[in-house]
Amino acid sequence: MTIQLTSSILALDTCTESCSAALSYQGQVFSRIADAPREHSQRLLPMIDEVLKEAGVSLASLDAIAYGRGPGSFTGIRICTSMTQGLALGQDLPVIGISTLAAMAQMAISEHGAKQVLCAIDARMNEVYWAQFVDANGVATLVGHEQVSSPELIELTMDNNHVTQACGTGFDAYPQLLNLGNLQRLMAVNFPDARGMLTLAQVGITAGQTTSVDDLAPVYLRDTVTWKKLPGRE
């Protein structure tokens, strides 16, 4: 099943080494992506300008902005959240946070036909951010909870009689994770992609899950980092 993109949505992600922007407008998708570690703040705005110009639409005409809420790099999450805050505030647009892990799972489902997905992002400090997803009518649906843990503490709860696609940099850092069960490495999905966020954002918009810019909610999974809003909006 393919989810129809009926809303005009700008999606942004800078939570990992990859930087991406995607736009759904009048049923079409326009996107940019680059492997650009430490260049997110310089690369993202030009990407946004490019997809808006390609679609021939202004930011003010959009229905919502979807942002990568994490987990991922602390700095990358801050860049994505701050950029979203500035763009949405300027145009009074609602926002919706999308999990970076779910965005990867959605790409595995939408573009590669995956039915079960294990996503793992290298979290440094001998840990990974990870979560399990299944295809529910074309939508990546979380099984259990998103977690951060050492690789040896990951426990699969999905049906081991079926192949589970393994996505993310966690499998590069800890290749032993592929021995957890009936896993198959999907190299084509190694980072989150804003294109995958569009379907999840559309589902969330339809369900009334957008918020105001004042309620941006980054997810670090580690409790040692707090989010600060722009001055005057604490």
What's the confidence (pLDDT) of residue 41?
83
Q: Cα 24 to chain center, whole Å?
A: 15
The string of pLDDT tens digits covering residues 96-114 is 999 999 999 999 999 999 9
* Residue burial 44-60, b: 16+ Cβ < 10 Å; e: rest: beebbeebbeebebebe
Instruction: Please name which of 194, 192, 189, 202 lies closest in space to residue 21, comparing C-alpha atoms.
Output: 194
pLDDT for 230: 47
At the second CATH level, the architecture of 101-185 is: 2-Layer Sandwich (3.30)
Domain locations along the chain: 9-100+192-215, 101-185
Residue 145 carries which side chain, given as an amino acid letter? H
The reported pLDDT for the residue numbered 223 is 63
Determine phi and psi for 39, rounding to 5 degrees. Answer: -125, 15
Rounded CA separation 221/54 (Å):
36
Same fold, 9-100+192-215 and 101-185: yes
220, pLDDT greater than 70: yes
* pLDDT band, residue 234 (cuts 50/70/90): very low
Element (H, E) at 23: strand 18-25
d(CA 86, CA 104): 25
pLDDT score of 73: 92
pLDDT digits (tens, 9 = 90+) for 183-196: 999 999 999 999 99
Angle, CA 142 vertex, CA 136 and CA 147 arms, to 5°: 165
- The type of residue at 24 is S
CB 56 within 8 A of CB 41: no
Residues 84 and 216 sit within 8 Å (Cβ to Cβ): yes
Closest by Cα among 118, 102, 101, 107 to 182: 118
Quick one: which of 114, 124, 98 has its CA closest to 200?
98
CATH of 9-100+192-215, one of 3.30.420.40, 3.40.190.10, 3.30.460.20, 3.40.50.2000: 3.30.420.40
d(CA 164, CA 83): 34
pLDDT at 221: 87
Give per-residue pLDDT as tens, 146-158.
999 999 999 999 9
Tokens of 65: 């902005």
